[in-house]
Structure 1
């Protein structure tokens, strides 16, 4: 049922309402493929508003080109998986994920308010959506409002009942049976509420009272299994070749596969964290890529992880990726036989289900935790959260960029503990790589070489596990500077791999000891000997 709802939240953008069946064509392949290849029990692959908007910006109102775009995106994504490039997605930090999920939950939840109110012609862009939703409140339909609020109340009540089951101790057999029955009803609350709302809408419609906004008609029939078109013909009969179509796709051929991956992986990581399991990024890439490749053979356009449906999956209590098979079978049955049965589903009831599903993802507690633990993490969180209201892809990319900048800054300015033991001891608290070498050199120059008289230095390197050529080059210059000033630069606590590199570099004047104490004793003996 929720798959039917996808058509109206996203595919109208792609196909201008004329080819909404393409949304259903895109909704079933992911369930089968992800069951075999996916690693998240919650994620549902399918059409989303974001991907629909991106595809529309590339192909316009030409769904046959969107099908070819699905094939090309799938090849790119599967290629990334085979090249084991999933590690690139490790740069999506937890604050970015939480910023994205909170913004997505607010965006999707508020996007359903128009369906609760029964108002139409509201833009999809968030800020315009907010404005027009409030502007059109006087146009709200009483039937949709009442039905939507009743569905919300029922869902919240059933959700509360499931989360507060009560004790079985000292209860009779009938009490335990009643409790299990209530638990089963609470677990199936989404489907039961939608079915009940559909019966209500059908009953009113049968008596000629059209008081609810319903799902309505969608083209029936299964799509043919055939390869996507590799050429096109314009209205004046001109044949457009495959190369020309790809050129028309332009930068979209890079942006759409990347955004599909970012959105799906961000969703998978968010729900994996919430439900205490792990995902395999490379396997996720492969699942998305194969889904888009196979989907192109059934007239689907590019898909990704759907936040709203994934949230519903999680709230319903799905245990394995095989839950996608149920969704896919329902979509196929809907296309083949059941479209008349879904005709009367009220949009208000589906909106209530989605709102209840995404509401728990607005995690305000995470902001307080970041404030207490590391306030700097609020920066990528805030950037992702705020920009995601504009465009989700900009929010995720900006958040990743801010997180990367913070990471690079930490690498370039590692913490160094400087202590005076007669000889200056500098303890490097983290690794030493080329972004940090200038900072280290500056500290050594200002606190040892440029003082009067110059001072010897012991570098405590027991935290350093890697070293590169830039560092070797700078150390060569530092050793030369120390020699000119007739003081020493000594190394202590070198790990075997680092020591091997330094010895291979054949540094003039290179001295090392096993510990700082040994270095201090060596320097003291040298001074005493002098």
Structure 2
């Protein structure tokens, strides 16, 4: 029995390690027909949502529409093998597309190189466990960024609803020229765009009003609810298909009422090594030149890509690395499509494979039809997709809960309209400054219990050194006469060398002035550091009461040996005894 156990243990350990590296092994052996049916339904539903969104988001990134589809299928295959959640779907998103547009300048080669480097960086973050970096991006910064991004993306599509051309990409100029060119609006685009918006909003409201299903409801009612839910879920595909049919009919009739997507590449993208250089206007642009031009995007985009889940950064990284071989631009997890996936009853990550197949079929057979997709319909899809991200309740909640947190929110929100990446940096900078200020100016409670008692409420790190010294000098050393001090460290959990050095100076100053400094309530880890430093005249107790008792005894001892009568008495006694 022992030999059997001993022989099987290494095998089990090896298999456990393999399952950790390839999570597909945890569910694939138990796969069944019921799961297959649910995954097919969910994958098809998400696919019908992903295709129109991918086409629309490519326009946000400033790339031809086919690049949205190039980016929408690899994630399903990669995540099926390495993914740990059945619901998450990877692909192009509105915010990632907006961020990419700031760096790639509409150049597909730049987009592919960015995808490759982004994947390498994300994989490195996963291997080195650098998820703590995301802890420095606070909730107000995230919400400020997403709200601003939603406004920028949404307003950026107004020009397509109106059928305007030659509108700059800069948000401020975009606002100005959109209103300046209003007289040039095309009636066909306006009518079609508003109709698409109306249908999308109506279907969304119908889906929201459905509520939870009741098992005891009549079959007809349950069927009707299911039909409404299905139509509302694939509303993007329905609207784009209907709008394309209208535009195609108009074109066949010889009427050019609508601004169309236009010609796009046919068929599947070639699977090849990503281009690491290009020739533009007769000039060779090398890989190093491209990386230099991408600049801050190599930090911002990988971080934003794994912002919500550093745990699956490996899957993000591999998806982007492999995506670069099929001309994709950077992708991340999609909240909207993930919600659709979950609501559709997906059972395993295999649902993403079905979604990927739907996208591939669209690339293989439907690309010629994409020529007739009206830009106004894609604009309506984008506006409806990003509108929920504008949450006006956030600033109200911040104001009610903690007004100071409005500062990083507003900085991020406002600066993002200048440059979206600067908004993130500005918000993180303000949050970091607020955090450092709290570290450098901790709350110190000062009380008088015969001696001065200072109660600290946080760790002792180097930013607090000057502030702590100033308080000690003000309340104890600069008093006349100098007063003894008890430093209550019961809430202090850490200390660094800079503070230890300053405490050594303070202890010397207390000794020179004939006063005492006693530490109370030191935690074992902090006490160990102070004992190792071998501070002069270092005294400590377990509680404030013991510290006060110790100071009373020290005060009596000092008074006894400095009283002239006591000294004369001891001298005479000593002489007599001799």
Instruction: Check whether TM > 0.5.
Output: yes
Where does 1:330-409 land on structure 2 (aligned, <5 Å)? 330-409=358-437
- Structure 2 distance, partners of 1:38, 1:393, is 29
Residue 491 (structure 2) pairs with residue 463 (structure 1) = yes
| CA separation of 1:317 and 1:289: change in aligned 2, threshold 3 A | closer
- Structure 1 distance, partners of 2:115, 2:422, is 22
Task: Say which is worse superposed, 86-95 or 184-193, in terms of deviation.
Answer: 184-193
What's the CA shift for 1:36? 4.3
- Structure 2 distance, partners of 1:232, 1:357, is 34
Residue 102 (structure 2) pairs with residue 53 (structure 1) = yes
Residue 476 (structure 2) pairs with residue 431 (structure 1) = no
1:105-138 Cα distance to aligned partner (Å, 9 max, x none): 1111111211221222222211111111111211
- Structure 2 distance, partners of 1:39, 1:386, is 37
Task: Say which is worse superposed, 399-408 or 149-158, in terms of deviation.
Answer: 149-158
Where does 1:487-506 land on structure 2 (aligned, <5 Å)? 487-506=515-534
Determine if contact 1:91/1:400 at 8 Å carries over to the other structure: yes
- Structure 1 distance, partners of 2:451, 2:171, is 62
What residue number does 1:218 align with? 264
Determine if contact 2:264/2:370 at 8 Å carries over to the other structure: no
1:518 to 546, 563, 568: 546
SS of the residue 1:11 aligns to: coil
- Name stretches of at least 5 consecutive residues in structure 2 with no aligned partner: 1-51, 560-578
Task: Say which is worse superposed, 477-486 or 127-136, in terms of deviation.
Answer: 127-136
Determine if contact 1:261/1:288 at 8 Å carries over to the other structure: no
| CA separation of 1:27 and 1:181: change in aligned 2, threshold 3 A | closer
Q: Could you tell me the TM-score, scaled by structure 2's length?
A: 0.79
What's the CA shift for 1:8? 2.6
- Structure 2 distance, partners of 1:485, 1:222, is 83
What's the CA shift for 1:166? 5.9
- Structure 2 distance, partners of 1:142, 1:314, is 36
RMSD: 2.8
Residue 300 (structure 2) pairs with residue 259 (structure 1) = yes
- Structure 2 distance, partners of 1:453, 1:193, is 84
Where does 1:39-438 land on structure 2 (aligned, <5 Å)? 41=87, 44-46=90-92, 48-56=97-105, 61=107, 63-64=108-109, 67-165=112-210, 172-229=218-275, 245-249=286-290, 251-252=292-293, 254-266=295-307, 269=308, 279=309, 281=310, 283-284=312-313, 286-300=314-328, 302-305=329-332, 310=334, 312-313=336-337, 316=340, 318=342, 325-438=353-466
Task: Say which is worse superposed, 180-189 or 32-41, in terms of deviation.
Answer: 32-41
- Structure 1 distance, partners of 2:91, 2:55, is 14
Aligned residues: 498
Determine if contact 1:260/1:305 at 8 Å carries over to the other structure: no
- Structure 1 distance, partners of 2:216, 2:273, is 63
1:370-429 Cα distance to aligned partner (Å, 9 max, x none): 112211111111111011111111111111111111111111111111111111111101
SS of the residue 2:205 aligns to: helix
1:212-258 Cα distance to aligned partner (Å, 9 max, x none): 2232221102222222345667877x9x6xxx824323534552221
| CA separation of 1:95 and 1:119: change in aligned 2, threshold 3 A | same
| CA separation of 1:190 and 1:23: change in aligned 2, threshold 3 A | closer
Larger gyration radius, structure 1 or structure 2: 2
- Name stretches of at least 5 consecutive residues in structure 1 with no aligned partner: 270-278
| CA separation of 1:147 and 1:173: change in aligned 2, threshold 3 A | same
SS of the residue 1:341 aligns to: helix
| CA separation of 1:116 and 1:6: change in aligned 2, threshold 3 A | same
- Structure 1 distance, partners of 2:67, 2:389, is 29
Determine if contact 1:28/1:331 at 8 Å carries over to the other structure: yes
SS of the residue 2:492 aligns to: coil
Task: Say which is worse superposed, 24-33 or 163-172, in terms of deviation.
Answer: 163-172
1:137-162 Cα distance to aligned partner (Å, 9 max, x none): 11222222222222222222222222
SS of the residue 2:450 aligns to: coil
Determine if contact 1:34/1:45 at 8 Å carries over to the other structure: no
- Structure 2 distance, partners of 1:288, 1:399, is 25
